[in-house]
């Protein structure tokens, strides 16, 4: 009896040590991704404060439920799934109106508008792209409605694949593709408006 | 209404940039781009725009936040 108890406590000690080692590694791996997590959070939420809250909540939850992460799978996607779920739970998107403005113009639209406004049509694309400002881009991105912006940020800024974005947002891959397509168009429309003014001159 | 080659090329731009076109579609777009400077310019612009967006939004994480996150770790006993 005594021998068994000793063996048990030895096994326990080993288990506890292994557990602690796995947890420490998980926490370190997760923290190493925090810049990337923040970058996505910053642009799916509407302010820096919101983004900071969201990232803190995400890490608090991740550290609590680290055991549900399967080692060897995509930790960055796992963290962002927590983050986007928290963001949805906060109910922010309910306040947003859906984007109902028509978008019949094609993908060359922004270039055409900028080139037209830049001069004689002989411009090269470097001069045209120079018309855009960093603030203009940040502002235009924040004007994209949430459903589209989430996908845009995950794929075009976070470098997630369509499939990862679909898993993170829990929507079909076809939805990711159509929202991405539309999100990029909306971004261009917003860029055209902020760079050239609202007038259709 | 039939689509002009440039209209077709415009429609192919996003999937082309995302590298999800089939081999034939990809080759078709490349063939058009090699002879149409008008479309080629717009494709180059799209590439630069995507790059520019990525750079424009890369705001560093506040250092205090990094400290707060580290403080959320389970203390080692």
Residue B62 in 3-state DSSP? coil
| CA dist., res. B51 & res. B70, Å (int) | 31
Whole-number percent of chain B with pLDDT over 90: 75
- Out of A34, A108, A180, the one facing B42 most closely (by C-beta) is A108
- State yes or no: ipTM above 0.90: no
Q: How many CA atoms lie within 13 A of B36 on its CB side?
A: 18
Alpha carbon distance, N-terminus to C-terminus of chain A: 91
> Which range has the worst mean pLDDT, A119-123, A159-163, A166-170, B49-53?
A119-123
Mean pLDDT of A93-117: 73
| CA dist., res. A109 & res. A126, Å (int) | 17
| Residues near A52 by beta carbon (within 8 Å), at least 6 away in sequence | B62, B65
Q: Chain centroid to CA A86: how far?
A: 13
* In contact, B69 and A83? CB cutoff 8 Å: no
In this complex, do B52 and A20 lie within 8 Å of one another by their Cβ atoms? no
Angle subtended at Cα A33 by Cα A28 and Cα A37, rounded to the nearest 5 degrees: 135
**pLDDT classification of A6: cutoffs 50, 70, 90:** low
* In contact, A46 and A92? CB cutoff 8 Å: yes
| CA dist., res. B14 & res. B11, Å (int) | 7
Question: Which candidate in B53, B66, B70, B76 is best for mutational testing of the A interface (most A CBs within 10 A)?
Answer: B53
CB pairs < 8 Å spanning A and B: 90
Q: Where are the beta strands (DSSP E) in chain A?
A: none
Mean pLDDT of A77-89: 92
Chain B residues within 8 Å of chain A (Cβ atoms): 7, 10-11, 13-14, 41-42, 44-46, 48-50, 52-62, 65-66, 68-70, 72-74, 76
Min Cα–Cα distance to chain A from B58, Å: 7
| CA dist., res. A177 & res. A162, Å (int) | 7
């Amino acid at each position: 009896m005594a021998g068994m108890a000793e063996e048990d406590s030895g096994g326990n000690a080993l288990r506890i040590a292994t557990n602690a080692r796995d947890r420490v590694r998980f926490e370190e791996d997760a923290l190493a991704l925090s810049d990337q997590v923040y970058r996505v959070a910053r642009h799916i939420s509407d302010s820096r404060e919101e983004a900071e809250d969201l990232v803190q909540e995400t890490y608090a939850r991740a550290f609590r439920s680290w055991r549900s992460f399967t080692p060897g799978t995509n930790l960055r996607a796992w963290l962002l799934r927590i983050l986007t779920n928290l963001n949805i739970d906060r109910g922010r998107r309910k306040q947003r109106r859906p984007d109902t403005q028509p978008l019949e113009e094609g993908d060359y639209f922004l270039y055409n508008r900028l080139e037209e406004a830049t001069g004689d049509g002989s411009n090269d694309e470097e001069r045209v792209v120079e018309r855009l400002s960093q603030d203009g881009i940040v502002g235009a991105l924040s004007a994209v409605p949430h459903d589209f912006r989430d996908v845009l940020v995950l794929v075009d800024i976070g470098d997630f694949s369509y499939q990862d974005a679909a898993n993170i947002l829990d929507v079909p891959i076809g939805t990711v593709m159509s929202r991405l397509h539309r999100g990029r168009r909306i971004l261009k429309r917003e860029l055209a408006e902020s760079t050239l003014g609202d007038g259709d001159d | 209404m039939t689509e002009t080659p440039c209209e077709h090329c415009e429609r192919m731009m996003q999937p082309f940039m995302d590298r999800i076109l089939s081999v034939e579609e990809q080759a078709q777009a490349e063939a058009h781009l090699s002879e149409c400077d008008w479309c080629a310019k717009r494709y180059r612009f799209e590439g630069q725009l995507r790059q520019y967006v990525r750079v424009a939004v890369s705001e560093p994480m506040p250092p205090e936040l990094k400290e707060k996150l580290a403080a959320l770790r389970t203390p080692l006993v």
